[in-house]
Amino acid sequence: MPGMTHSADRLRQSSGNFHWGLLPNWKEACRRRGPPSISPRCSAPTCGAPGLLSADPDRPLKGGGPLKSGGLPPAPAFKGPGCPDGSPVRLAGGWPNSAGRGAEPSRGRPNRRAGARRARGGRGRGSGSARGRMESLLQQLERFSEVLAVSRTAAVSAWGPAAVRRAVQWARYLRRAHGRLRAALEGRRRAGPRLGAWGGRDVVLSARLLGNRALGAAAHRCLLRLLFPGPAAPAPAPAAALQARLARLARRRGAVRLLLRGGPAEDAALRTQAELLLRRLRDGPAGGLLDGLWARAPRAAFLRAAAAALLLDPAGPAPGELLRWLLGRADALAALCRDLPAARLAALAARHPALRRAYLRQLARWGCRLRYDLPSGRWEAAEPAHVSWAELRGRFLSLARAPPPLKDAALAALEAWSARDGAFRVRGLSVWTDLLLALGPGAGTDSLGAAPSSGVLGAGGCRLARPGPARSPEHAHFPK
Amino acid sequence: MAQDSVDFSSHYQFWMQKLSVWEHASTLETQQDTCLHLPRFQEFLRQMYEVLKELNSSTIIERFPTIGQLLAKTCWNPFILAFDESQKILIWCLCCLINKEPQNSEESKLNSWTRGLLSQILSAFRFDTKEVDLFIQSLGYTPEDYCPGLLKNMVLSLVSELRENHLNGFNTQRRMVPEKIRFLSRICIPLVTLPDIEPLVEALLTYHGHETQEVLWPEFFDAVNEAFLLKKISLPTSAVVCLWLRHLPSLEKATLHLFEKLISSERNFLRRIEYFLKDSLLPEAACHPAIFRIVDEMFRYVLLETDGAPEVLAAIQVFTQCFVEALEKKNKQLKFTLKTYFPYASPSLVMVLLQHPKEIPQELWLQTLKHISEMLREIVEDQTHRSYGGPFECWFLFIHFGGWADIAAEQLVMSETESSEALLWLLAFSYSPRDGSLQRAQTMVELKAALIHLKKLFRSPTLSAKDLQAVAAESPDRDPRPALCQQLSRRLLLNFLLWAPGGHAIAWEVITLEETSGSGGGEISPAQSSCFSLLLLLALFLDHNNSQVKMS
């Protein structure tokens, strides 16, 4: 939508002063949709409901300037028996938090007077109120997310047809609002962490409710009527659009199932997880999100997805933040180096020099923990939890097979460490020398003895086993 | 109505049997059979929905006691669920089955069972592992967010596997075996119209393996071609060319589809013909000689069948124009000689004809036309040139470049000097290729006479519309001229109207005359009607040459 892009540009230039009047298509879109079709009986939320859009869209917005508002966003005045117990409630936010019963989409009526006030208003409102509106939308989204969470629990047994209808109408409304906001707020972190995932909530809500056996029979029938109006529904209507989206979801599921008959799709699955992770990172502050994921999400899955994300799009800002986070979290980094397959780690190290240095440091740490067992003539881990000789060798093999910059760096590091251990070509003295030998003549022997390239370990590199009398690995000192 | 319901019942039985055989479409045979019947089954589902939506749940069960079985079997068939709109119609049918006021436990059970089927079609996508599920959840996403991305990436990964590419560090170096490619082409049959799958369809079409036999399933080509012709998918030209080169029936269908469009369109102005042709991608695809030869062969067949209908002649001429344009665009990478496109024609003749009249200076037109005429005459009349085919082959080649016949007529009309024998021959030949030399000589004499008559008319200061009508009219009461001469003299008249000074003004006069006599409410005379058709022809011509000629 070129108009939208244009206004988004203007938004960026306006140094954070967000004006609704900058959305030229908004008014037109509202007008096309007609006035909010609030059924007289159950005042369900529709287009104007959350008080963000003009509640009276037919009224022209003067001058295209920011809408005037008294205390924007006007809290939708909810009245009527919104709670299951039938007691009249008046909620500022729009969604009742009826504890113990689970959230139910409450009946909401847009504050028409407030809307009219806004519509009449001219220019001159500061960005504060606009931000307020934004905050309000985010609040609505948060509240709706509660409804969404409830939609897959047994608590929906308390929902009647009216509640289902309101929930679906809200989901449709939020999709429209999201579509417009996303265009306007592209690149603005202020949009908050939640905005990004709001694209297809109507589909999610529908699928969850359809699959929830706890939903009462009457509510379910109402849901079916709302979601599948049949071929008679006119094409541009929101009901027909949602029906088409659900059908497409079903068709895509069918397609995935058919394609899976040809064999597993691990790469594709991993790539998808990585893309979702990156999408999420773009939507909000990365640090908190990543800390949260590290604390709560299954770690192996998280690390696999993180590694895949770092391989996907190295130029974007989101992988940058992910990389910074990873380099700053020693435990996460160690787990990543430990759990990922050698080839994947080599690919990561080839792509990100900072990660390469960290990986080599990690390998050095592991190597220093190995002890040479004279009777068996093998390097062995001091503790079962430690990385074994075979595994370490595998890692270096994979690095030695990588394209030149990485391969050279890995071999140079090995040579440097071997040199510090004296570079005696006798097995059992230095794990590094033995690794070099194990990599075979093609790997590094041709360059063995050459001065290690200065940039290998870099300024932040590992100050490895200082040259000195202590040759055995256990004396190696690895400052953190 | 009764007949409809009988039909529906028999269809119902037929499909019930089919679904029982197909089951989960797990064997090759059942998959093939399912794919073959997908469009018809969707049509049946639509019919069924139309029947079901008029009935309530209990009546449905009464009339179709096995409907539950039928719908359940449909829900379990992944090919049907993936095809076009079948899943949507199936959901509608299931919705009809839900009883609004369940009276007993049986009806409640049926409702619950139907809900199960509905959620099976629509509810959450199941992840491979619990771990991934939890991770996606912690990200704040749902299976519904995951599914489209997964599909996109599965397609990308298959495409890169097919192209033996690397994909951002995800190394998929393992080469695909022909069996897998064949399998993919089969499961793509229901999916071709799903936009997410398009890259895979394209990759399959352009895939060139080392196998000696075609690896792709013929039904796959059928499905892609059908979707392309109905504009349900958009494919790059290269992929379409691959499709037509690999699957001859698809090319034939595409050409027939074009013919149907040309026939069903009411008034075919040249522009419109050109639009249909370019839209069909056939002229562009014809840059490959194999495709050109087949399309050309089909044109020849239609031409013979219609006894040289002017519409077909026009279509061939425009097709050739578009084809030559496309050929010039690709000139740099042209890999084939002209001989491969026109194997039965003299290469030097083809070279001359291929020149667009507009590309050479006007003063050289006459010379070029004489050259063309002489070469054609030599081949047609001299028996030693048998390798270039008989008169028909020559004529068929010439009409591809019908623009030269127009130029010949124009030159005859415009030249002040004695009419060129060569041009008269060319015109006579282009109108009646089968004539013997004696017959043609006679035609030429008559043509010449008509030309002199017309020239005299146009020089006269008192030329009126009535005179014009007299020339154009088929005059049955007078000495009936042969139809051929009639056609030719009208052709010349048209050229006079177009090119002679004052021709446009007289054309307008005729139009006005038609209007005034037409408003009288009387019968339209043959003279009027033929004049009218002449004007239509004129309008058609002007439409084409709009940039050059403007009626003021």
**Could you tell me whether strands B170-171 and A370-373 are parallel, antiparallel, or unpaired per DSSP bridges?**
unpaired
What residues contact B382, with CB distance under 8 A and at least 6 apart?
none
- Per-residue confidence at A53, pLDDT binned at 50, 70, 90? very low
Backbone angles phi, psi at B101, to 5 degrees: -125, 80
Predicted confidence at residue B551, as pLDDT, reads 36
Nearest to A258 among B129, B144, B187 (CB): B187
Contact A258 B157 (CB under 8 A): no
Predicted confidence at residue A346, as pLDDT, reads 92
- Per-residue confidence at A269, pLDDT binned at 50, 70, 90? very high
Backbone angles phi, psi at B170, to 5 degrees: -85, 95
In whole angstroms, what is the distance from residue B43 CA to residue B89 CA? 10
Q: Is some CB atom of chain B closer than 8 A to the CB atom of A240?
A: no
CB contact residues (below 8 A), chain A span 373-412, against chain B: none
Q: Which long-range contacts (CB under 8 A, 24 or more apart) does B416-420 make?
A: B419/B448, B419/B451, B420/B366, B420/B369, B420/B370
Kindly report the nearest CA distance between residue B187 and chain A, in angstroms.
Answer: 6
What residues contact B546, with CB distance under 8 A and at least 6 apart?
none
In whole angstroms, what is the distance from residue B468 CA to residue B458 CA? 10
Buried/exposed A368-400: b ≥16 CB within 10 Å, e otherwise: bbbbbeeeeebbebeeeebbebeebbebbbbbb
Q: Is some CB atom of chain B closer than 8 A to the CB atom of A149?
A: no
Q: What average pLDDT does range A23-48 have in this prediction?
A: 32
CB contact residues (below 8 A), chain A span 198-227, against chain B: 200, 203-204, 206-208, 210-211, 213, 217, 220-221, 224-225
Q: Is some CB atom of chain B closer than 8 A to the CB atom of A235?
A: no
Kindly report the nearest CA distance between residue A217 and chain B, in angstroms.
Answer: 8
Predicted confidence at residue A321, as pLDDT, reads 86
Predicted confidence at residue B173, as pLDDT, reads 52
Contact B169 A256 (CB under 8 A): no
- Give contacts of A224 with chain B, Cβ < 8 Å: 95, 98, 118
Beta pairing partners, A252: none
**Distances in Å between the alpha carbon of A164 and those of A147, A151, A222, A334?**
11, 10, 7, 48
Kindly report the nearest CA distance between residue B165 and chain A, in angstroms.
Answer: 14
Contact A200 B196 (CB under 8 A): no
Chain B interface, mutation test: which of A208, A223, A256, A257, most B Cβ atoms within 10 Å?
A: A256
Say how far residue B269 (Cα) sits from the centre of its chain.
16
Contact A258 B87 (CB under 8 A): no
Contact A262 B170 (CB under 8 A): no
**Closest residue in A to B91 (Cα–Cα):** A228
**Distances in Å between the alpha carbon of B241 and those of B236, B281, B291, B317, B340?**
9, 9, 8, 22, 17
Contact B150 A272 (CB under 8 A): yes
Backbone angles phi, psi at B334, to 5 degrees: -65, 125
Cis-peptide, bond into residue A384, ω within 30° of zero: no
Nearest to B180 among A225, A228, A262 (CB): A262
Per run of 10 residues, the mean pLDDT along chain B (length 552 residues) is 75 93 84 92 95 91 92 91 94 92 88 90 70 88 88 92 61 69 93 95 88 89 96 94 95 95 76 89 93 94 87 90 88 72 83 83 84 84 68 86 82 73 84 78 82 76 69 53 67 73 70 58 48 55 45 34
Contact B144 A207 (CB under 8 A): yes
pLDDT at A191 exceeding the cut of 80? no
Nearest to A249 among B53, B147, B167 (CB): B147
Answer yes or no: are the C-beta atoms of A168 and A205 closer than 8 Å: yes
Q: Which two tokens mark A358? A: 């960290």
Kindly report the nearest CA distance between residue B138 and chain A, in angstroms.
Answer: 6
Q: Is the pTM of this model over 0.80?
A: no
Q: Is some CB atom of chain B closer than 8 A to the CB atom of A275?
A: yes
Nearest to A252 among B85, B132, B151 (CB): B151
Q: Which two tokens mark B255? A: 């050409």
Greater confidence, A408 or B2?
A: A408
Greater confidence, A141 or A155?
A: A155
In whole angstroms, what is the distance from residue A75 CA to residue B300 CA? 75
Could you write out the DSSP letters of every residue in B124-145? PPPPS-HHHHHHHHHTT--HHH
Contact B78 A251 (CB under 8 A): no
For B309, other C-beta atoms within 10 Å of its C-beta total 12
In whole angstroms, what is the distance from residue A76 CA to residue A67 CA? 17
Kindly report the nearest CA distance between residue A148 and chain B, in angstroms.
Answer: 11
Which amino acid, B381? Answer: E
Q: Among all chains, which residue has been given the structure tokens 């369940």?
A: B102
Kindly report the nearest CA distance between residue B54 and chain A, in angstroms.
Answer: 13
Q: Is A157 strand, coil or helix?
A: helix
Q: Which of A140, A292, A137 is nearest to B139 (CA)?
A: A292
What number of C-beta contacts closer than 8 Å exist between A and B? Answer: 194
Contact A203 B144 (CB under 8 A): yes
Could you write out the DSSP letters of every residue in A65-114? -PPP-SSSSPPPB--SB-STT--B---SSSS---TTT---PPP-B--HHH
pLDDT, chain A, mean: 67
Q: Among all chains, which residue has been given the structure tokens 């017309």?
A: B454
Kindly report the nearest CA distance between residue A86 and chain B, in angstroms.
Answer: 25
Q: Which long-range contacts (CB under 8 A, 24 or more apart) does A459-463 make?
A: A460/A357, A461/A357, A461/A360, A461/A361, A462/A360, A462/A361, A462/A364, A462/A365
Nearest to B146 among A243, A276, A343 (CB): A276
pLDDT at A405 exceeding the cut of 50? yes
Predicted confidence at residue B174, as pLDDT, reads 59
In whole angstroms, what is the distance from residue A312 CA to residue B193 CA? 29
Q: Judging by beta carbons within 10 Å of its beta carbon (0-12, 13-18, 19+), is residue B385 exposed, middle or buried?
A: middle
- Give contacts of A204 with chain B, Cβ < 8 Å: 142, 144-145
Kindly report the nearest CA distance between residue A326 and chain B, in angstroms.
Answer: 17
Contact B156 A268 (CB under 8 A): yes
Q: Which contiguous run of DSSP H or E holds residue A380?
A: strand A378-381
Beta pairing partners, B441: none
Contact B131 A301 (CB under 8 A): yes
**Distances in Å between the alpha carbon of A150 and those of A136, A166, A175, B143, B314?**
21, 14, 19, 16, 68
Question: Any idea what the Cα angle at residue B233 is, between residues B228 and B237, rounded to 5°?
Answer: 65
Beta pairing partners, A81: A88
In whole angstroms, what is the distance from residue B215 CA to residue B199 CA? 18
Q: Which two tokens mark A394? A: 């595998």
- Give contacts of A268 with chain B, Cβ < 8 Å: 150, 153-154, 156-157
Contact A276 B151 (CB under 8 A): no
Predicted confidence at residue A466, as pLDDT, reads 33
Note the pLDDT tens digit of each residue in A429-443: 888 888 888 887 655
Q: Is some CB atom of chain B closer than 8 A to the CB atom of A256?
A: yes
CA dihedral B410, B414, B415, B421 (to 10 degrees): 30
DSSP H helical segments within A215-352, as ranges?
217-227, 238-260, 266-283, 286-296, 299-312, 317-328, 330-339, 342-351
Predicted confidence at residue A476, as pLDDT, reads 35
Q: Is A370 strand, coil or helix?
A: strand
